[in-house]
Chains A and B, each alone.
Chain A
Amino acid sequence: DVKVTQSSRYLVKRTGEKVFLECVQDMDHENMFWYRQDPGLGLRLIYFSYDVKMKEKGDIPEGYSVSREKKERFSLILESASTNQTSMYLCASRGRREAFFGQGTRLTVV
């Protein structure tokens, strides 16, 4: 079974905190993605990475950064969390076409 694992299911952080969301995949995929999902807006791409140490901005990168030091791990960083970053965060790993998702992290910033 393919597996994408996100480090936390639920997180509550305070405004201004630095937040790390971790994602690990076991499929040896080169492409990994971070999306956020909000009601009525669908999945919006924050950042993606197509190789180790390589990254590209998605549609909504502001307020986020990423790190890909190893092929299997892709981290999303909120430099200074704000309340408008309260959302469901989904990590995905993609082979040739299909994406496989983690279970999601529900982040609440208070």
Chain B
Amino acid sequence: TQLLEQSPQFLSIQEGENLTVYCNSSSVFSSLQWYRQEPGEGPVLLVTVVTGGEVKKLKRLTFQFGDARKDSSLHITAAQPGDTGLYLCAGHRGDGNKLVFGAGTILRVKS
């Protein structure tokens, strides 16, 4: 069982559509990160959220941290083919040095 559950696992959409990816847990995290990974490469950090209720924007990407710091979401507006990739959420629980990952959401944006 994953400590961080991501949904959906796969998403295939048309260019210009909006989408939301979810990252949920029953545990509280001191911070959550979102990464994007392209095939054959390592994950690249997109954002870190720390405060419950926090919202961060990165161009067309909006990240939200739940009030209870147990969940997070990533919303992409007007998706582009360049957004295609694997999106991973990761959390640090603050009770040690481990960083745990969700299984990821594979996003494919078709032109």
Interface size class, chain B = 20 to 34
Contact B99 A92 (CB under 8 A): yes
Known A42-B2, A42-B102; judge A104-B97 contact (CB<8 A).
no
Contact B31 A90 (CB under 8 A): no
Contact B97 A99 (CB under 8 A): no
Q: Which residues of A contact B103 (CB under 8 A)?
A: 40-42
Stretch at the interface among A43-51, A62-70, A74-82: A43-51
Contact A99 B45 (CB under 8 A): yes
A106 to B9 CA separation, bound complex (whole angstroms): 22
How distant is A84 from chain B, measured CB to nearest CB, in Å?
Answer: 19
Contact B42 A103 (CB under 8 A): yes
Which secondary structure dominates chain A's binding surface?
A: strand
Q: Which residues of A contact B44 (CB under 8 A)?
A: 101
Docked complex: B32-63 residues within 8 A CB-CB of A: 33, 35, 40-45, 48, 50
Answer yes or no: B88 CB below 8 A from chain A CBs.
yes
Interface size class, chain A = 20 to 34
How distant is B39 from chain A, measured CB to nearest CB, in Å?
Answer: 10
Q: Which residues of A contact B90 (CB under 8 A)?
A: 43, 99
A98 to B42 CA separation, bound complex (whole angstroms): 14
Q: Which residues of B contact A58 (CB under 8 A)?
A: 98
Q: Which residues of A contact B33 (CB under 8 A)?
A: 97-99
Contact with B along A1-18 (1 / 0, CB 8 A): 000100001000000000
Identify the A interface with B (CB < 8 A): 4, 9, 31, 33, 35, 40-43, 45, 48, 50, 56, 58, 90, 92, 94, 97-104, 106
Identify the B interface with A (CB < 8 A): 2, 9, 31, 33, 35, 40-45, 48, 50, 88, 90, 92, 97-104
Write 29 A-B pairs (CB below 8 A) sorted by A numbering.
Answer: A4-B42, A9-B40, A31-B97, A40-B103, A42-B101, A42-B104, A43-B88, A43-B90, A43-B101, A45-B98, A45-B100, A56-B97, A58-B98, A90-B43, A97-B48, A97-B92, A98-B33, A98-B48, A99-B33, A99-B43, A99-B45, A99-B99, A100-B45, A101-B35, A101-B42, A101-B44, A103-B41, A104-B40, A104-B41
